[in-house]
Each structure stands twice: as C-alpha cells, then as structure tokens.
Amino acid sequence: MFSFFRKKTADTPQEHQPATAPETPADAAPVAAAEPAAPVADVPTVPAAASVADTFVPAPQPQEKPKLSWAERLKAGLAKTRDKLGKSLASVFGGGKIDEDLYEELESVLLTADMGVEATTFLLDDVRERVSLKGLKDAQELKGTLKDALDDLIAPLEIPLDVSGHKPFILMVAGVNGAGKTTSIGKLAKYFQGQGKSVLLAAGDTFRAAAREQLVVWGERNGVQVIAQESGDSAAVAFDAVNAAKARGIDVIIVDTAGRLPTQLHLMDEIKKVKRVVQKAEPTGPHEILLVLDANTGQNAVSQVKSFDDALELTGLVLTKLDGTAKGGVIAAIAKQRPVPLRFIGVGEGIDDLRPFVARDYIDALFD
C-alpha cells in the first residue's frame, strides 16, 4: 500500500520537473533586479520573543540590554571578521597611490574572504575599471570603490522572504551535514512567530541520530508544534505536516530534511521526492526552498548551490555561522556563478541572530 503510493509519486513529477526547470532561473533574475529596495521594516518586532529567547542556546541575550539596531547587531556579529579583514584592509587603504602592489594585496584580501578566484578576478577588474574611469589616484578612495563594486555584485541577492502569499506557507530546508539546518529552523520559527505568525515544524530528518529529538526538544521549549514520526521517511513526515498545517490553520510550515552531500545521489533523489510529495499535499508548494550554507565553507559552497538548485530549484539561501572568523565571502562567488537570493544570515548563537540579508549592511560590517 505504502510502496504503491511511493512508487506513484516517484513517477509523475519526475517528468514534470525538467519542463519547469528552464523557467525558474529566467524569472528569478528579473525579480532580483526589480525589487532590491524593499527593506525589512518589520524586523524589530522581537519583544514577543524575549520571554523564550534564552532557552535555545545558553548564551542568553540579557533583556536589559538595549535593543540594537539590525545593522549594529550585524556589526557586532561580524566584529571579529571585520577585525581581521579590516586590519588587512587598513594596511591596503592606508594611503599612498594606487599601484600593482596594492591590487595584489587587495586580491589577497578578497581571496582570504573565500570569494574564490573567479569572483575575485571579476571584482578586481571591476575596481580597476572604475578607478581608471574616475581617474582615482589615492589608495584611500579605493575602499569606497571596492565597496561599490561588491555591492553591485551581491545586492541582487538581497530579496527578503515574503510569506504572506500562501497559507500555509510551506518552507523546505535543505543543506549538507552540519550546515546548521535544524538550528536555523529554530531561529526561523522564532522569526516568524515574532511577526505574529503561527508556525509548525516537520521533523523531516529521519536519518541522523537524535535529529528528530533535537527539533522536538526545541519545539517543546518554545511552544512550537512539531510533527514527527517514530520512523519512516521524511517525505511522509512532510506530507502529514502539510495536511496538519492545513487542518490547524497554520501560517508557516517549515520542513526539516536530513543533511546530505550532493555527491550522495540517492539522497539527492530522496530530497526531490520530499518536494514532490509536498506538492501532492499542496499543489502550490513548497513555496520556498532554502539551502542552508555554513559561512566556514569554502568554494564547495558554490557547487552545493549548483547541485541543490539543479535538484530542487532553490528559491533562497541562508548563510549561517557568520559570527566566527569566517567572512562568508563565498556569497560573492555564488552571486557570480549561480545567483540565488540570500534570504537570511546568521550572525550569532542567540535566537534573534538570524536576520534578513541586507547587502549594504553586510559590506559595511565587513569593511568599516
């Protein structure tokens, strides 16, 4: 009975997928260009979360601490990143004239930020062109030029996630092992709750030991409903969860999946199945497919985006662990090679530290 069901789902949407594939990149790009300036005005509605904020990670955010603006938080999170990068940049921009040595140092800085050879070369060429166009001579002015060049490159990725279009809004989360999927889901749930939405989680990681418990424990602590099954496959959990969300009138449902490396082809097939089965339960869904990336990851992040995009047609990215010394420059490489909107960045362990990505803030935090 069950296998019949499984088999059927395996057949139908597979033919369907290649047909839709060419459309997505095409319409994703204009959107990126059209509405980059829709800033996240509704973000600082966090007071509701304050009562539960300390349960998730034992680095409690003291309540008496004045609310920092989003840019300040990002800056604090990236402080160490900036220290490192800032120091090397300070020596670069310190003064003197613009010469080959300076470009070489600039190259080192960009490469060290994980931007990769291609994006670095692109940025440097861009900066050179701007410098000669404006006739800049002084190294000090180079900084602004570099920031502009980087902004032009990554600003198209800045498209905030809007969950208002559907109810329930189905959000599916994918990623490699240890990228921070489950932790990010917790933060996302908090984020949506802060906006006054009801949230349901689907514990779709049925593979890793205690992944289900991790989500269930988290859900209990934070008063979020979690759909989990003793065993079985993640597609079944997702199916149940979507139906439950419909029945209960939930606003946002977040489907967790097991971590998988893109080289594990059978697991990539499995996650395609999760998507297809979600579509069975709700033909318009999933409305958002997020790939969670670890900011520590090097150039492999680009190939992760490519593989998961090919398999699932990603609609967004989450970049986690930016609070370490990793700079997350790989998003420049992603912007260059496979632009997918960067919805959120994680700048700390606190529950509120997952925030919508704002390119300019990120660049400022990185360089100033």
Partner 1 sequence: MFENLSSRLSGVVKTLRGHSRLTEENIQDAMREVRMALLEADVALPVVKQFVAEVKERAQGKEVVGSLTPGQAFIGVVYEELTRLMGAQNDALNLAAVPPAIVLMAGLQGAGKTTTSGKLAKFLKETQKKRVLLVSTDVYRPAAIEQLKTLAAQIEVEWFPSDISQKPVDIALAALDYAKRHFHDVLIVDTAGRLAIDEAMMQEIQALHVAVKPVETLFVVDAMQGQDAVNTARAFGDALPLTGVVLTKMDGDARGGAALSVRHVTGKPIKFLGVGEKLAGLEPFYPDRLASRILGMGDVLTLIEDVQKTVDQDEALRMMKKVKSGKGFDLEDFKAQIQQMKKMGGMGALLDKLPGQLSAAASGQVTDKAVARIEGIINSMTPQERQKPELIKASRKRRIAAGAGVQVQEVNRLLNQFEQTQKMMKQFSKGGMGKLMRGMKGMLPGM
Binding site for partner 1 (CB under 8 A): 56-58, 80, 84, 108, 111-114, 116-117, 176-180, 183, 207-211, 213-218, 221, 259, 261-264, 294, 296-301, 303, 321, 323-327, 329-330
CB of 118 to partner 1, least distance (A): 9
Residue 123 vs 211, nearer CB to partner 1: 211
Residue 275 vs 327, nearer CB to partner 1: 327
User: CA-CA distances (angstroms) from residue 364 to 151, 153, 158?
Assistant: 10, 14, 15
Residue 40 vs 57, nearer CB to partner 1: 57
Q: For residues 273 and 138, what is the distance between their CA atoms, to the nearest angstrom?
A: 56
> Is residue 211 classed as helix, strand or coil in its secondary structure?
helix
> Is residue 320 classed as helix, strand or coil in its secondary structure?
strand
Tell me, what DSSP letter sits at residue 93?
Answer: H
Residue 122 vs 239, nearer CB to partner 1: 122
CB of 292 to partner 1, least distance (A): 10
Q: What are phi and psi for residue 325, nearest 5 degrees?
A: -95, -5
Residue 6 vs 80, nearer CB to partner 1: 80
User: CA-CA distances (angstroms) from residue 157 to 152, 163, 354, 359?
Assistant: 10, 17, 17, 8
Which residue, among 306, 301, 309, has the nearest Cα to 272 in the 3D structure? 309
- Tokens in use for 178? 């240890």
CB of 105 to partner 1, least distance (A): 11
CB of 111 to partner 1, least distance (A): 5
CB of 273 to partner 1, least distance (A): 18
Residue 279 vs 297, nearer CB to partner 1: 297
CB of 231 to partner 1, least distance (A): 13
Q: What are phi and psi for residue 316, nearest 5 degrees?
A: -165, 165
Residue 273 vs 327, nearer CB to partner 1: 327
| Buried-exposed string 299-323: b where 16+ CB fall within 10 A, e elsewhere | bebbebbbbbbebbbbbbbbbbbbb
In whole angstroms, what separates CA 304 from the centre of its chain?
Answer: 12
CB of 30 to partner 1, least distance (A): 31
Q: What are phi and psi for residue 157, nearest 5 degrees?
A: -80, -10
End-to-end distance of the chain based on CA atoms, in angstroms? Answer: 61
Q: For residues 252 and 245, what is the distance between their CA atoms, to the nearest angstrom?
A: 8
Q: What is the DSSP string of 6-66?
A: HHHHHHHHHHHHHHHTTHHHHHHHHHHHH-TT---TTTT--GGGTTTTTSSSSS---TTSP
Residue 291 vs 326, nearer CB to partner 1: 326
CB of 169 to partner 1, least distance (A): 25
Residue 198 vs 303, nearer CB to partner 1: 303
Residue 200 vs 293, nearer CB to partner 1: 293
CB of 308 to partner 1, least distance (A): 12
CB of 60 to partner 1, least distance (A): 12
Q: Which residues contact 24 (CB under 8 A, 6 or more apart)?
A: 313
At residue 310, what is the residue type?
Answer: D
